[in-house]
Amino acid sequence: MMPEFTEELIDRLTRYCAIDSQSDASSPSRPSTAIQLDMQRLLVEELTGIGAQDVTLTDYGTVLATIPGTDPGPTIGFLAHVDTAPQFNASGVKPRVIRGYNGGTITYPDAPDLSLTPDDFPYLGEKLGHDIITASGTTLLGADDKAGVAILMTAARHLLANPDHPRPTLRLAFTPDEEIGRGVDPRLPADLGADFAYTFDGGRVGEVEYETFSADLAMVTITGVSIHPGFATGKLVSAIQLAAKLLQTLPQATMTPDTTAGRDGFIHATDMEGDAAEMRLTFILRDFERDGLAAKGALLKQLCTGIAASEPRATITCQITPQYRNMRYWLEDDMTPVTLAHDAARAIGIEPVSIPIRGGTDGSRLTEMGVPCPNLFTGMQNIHGPLEWISAQDMARATELCLSLTRQALK
């Protein structure tokens, strides 16, 4: 029988969520915001307090620690990210706990128009009697990924207090800047020193994710011919009009985020800026397969070439750079980390579910860099917005999964 972790998880999550540690994609510094170090310094203090070894805050802003093993086995890394999403207000988070959820509508003290209902979010309807944690209506909660942090800190505290709980050597990593895709420093794989790892950054109970998108970034620059509009007849070449033409020519009914699902990838215009003289367009290209991703890049380039050919006075460049790759490419060579997670879940009565993620995780980069790293559930729901919520009992299941993994790894 597993011990009861719910109260410790509620305490940790509410304390961690109240600390603003939002990341900022526009900042060139590392970590992107200094406030993330407030979380990191607290974790250093708490890890030291519970007796973790080798507690370090690296100069790239990651907190590392060791939980010594009781038996020989693979060294397993466990990761969670301390930053919260830049997409929504994250300052002044006031977490509150709804004890013994009764299945009704959840309202918000700071936003009377807002409500959370099981009709809109059926997973909430499965959580009768659970302790539900939300924010107050004007901010996100930040369970993404303070839940992962709380789960790992609770598991670590339990293991360090119970030296008989069998486990191999474990390494913990709390990373900054995951939400802006900068969570994995090139030095992290060596500093982590794990044979394989897991992020606790997933949603509903049972999720064991080992397939992510493969991702490229495309920058299109369109240079027209700028001239005073009063003297423009037959001379002006508007970069804005060419940009509009490019967007219009892309397959908008079959290959955008809003028109695709499941295993289909997309081309998504995320940003456009400039003027009649020059326009810069940013696209993200996503697909689960290398071929599909390459085809999307080729299509974009081909359309740019076509538009350039229709207006020889304009210059159009299309620069494609890799972002991350589907972790399945590496995991299918050695499925040990996935099999272990599946076995560890079943050992505590949870049926694992592995669905491809239409996004990436810190684990995608880490896997590519040689540390296979599937993603495990925490319970977090409706992330990156004011309706974000999590069940403390779901987090307790994730904590149990972490402990089950450490046992299972010795078998």
Question: Residues in the site for Zn ion, rule: CB under 5 A?
Answer: 144-145, 201
Task: Reduce the DSSP state of residue 197 to 3 states and report it.
Answer: strand
Please report how close the Cβ of residue 361 comes to Zn ion at its closest, in angstroms: 7
CA dihedral for 269, 274, 275, 281, sign (positive or negative): negative
- Taking the complex as a whole, the smallest distance from the CB of residue 82 to Zn ion amounts, in Å, to 10
Measured from the Cβ of residue 278, the count of other Cβ atoms closer than 10 Å reads: 17
For residue 383, the minimal CB distance to Zn ion (Å) is 7
Strand partners, 322: 216
Q: Are 265 and 325 in contact (CB under 8 A)?
A: no
* Shortest Cβ 81–Zn ion spacing (Å): 6
Query: Which candidate, 308, 291, 302, places its Cα nearest to that of 243?
Result: 308
C-alpha–C-alpha distance, residues 142 and 104, integer Å: 23
For the bound state, the minimum distance from the C-beta of residue 377 to Zn ion, rounded and expressed in Å, comes to: 12
In sequence order, what are the beta bridge partners of 389? 134, 381
* Coil, strand or helix at 178: coil
Look up residue 266 and give its two tokens.
């997309």
CB 22 within 8 A of CB 86: yes
Give whichever of 201 and 211 is closer to Zn ion, judged by the CB atom: 201
Give whichever of 145 and 177 is closer to Zn ion, judged by the CB atom.
Answer: 145
Radius of gyration of the chain (CA): 24
* CB of 69 or CB of 77, closer to Zn ion: 77
Burial class from Cβ neighbours inside 10 Å (0-12, 13-18, 19+) for residue 334 reads: exposed
By C-beta, is 144 or 394 nearer to Zn ion?
144
Place of tokens 């069998």: 166
Is the Cβ of residue 185 or residue 201 nearer to Zn ion in the bound state? 201
Instruction: Report DSSP letters for 334-399, one per residue.
Output: --HHHHHHHHHHHHTT---B---BSS--HHHHHHHTT----EEE---BSTTSTT-EEEHHHHHHHH
Smallest distance, Å, CB 202 to Zn ion? 9
Q: Supply the minimum distance, in Å, between the C-beta of residue 1 and Zn ion.
A: 31
d(CA 401, CA 411): 15
Smallest CA-to-CA distance from 363 within 200, 253, 157 is with 200
Q: Considering beta carbons, is residue 209 or 368 the nearer one to Zn ion?
A: 209
Active-site residue list: 83, 178
Residue number with CB closer to Zn ion (238 or 326): 326
Cα separation, 47 vs 55, in Å, equals 7
Confirm if 172 and 65 have CB atoms less than 8 A apart.
Answer: yes
Residue 222, SS3?
strand
Pick from 210, 201, 205: which is nearest to 349 by CA? 205
Of 172 and 300, which CB lies nearer to Zn ion in the complex structure?
172
Q: Closest distance between Zn ion and the C-beta of residue 196, in Å?
A: 19
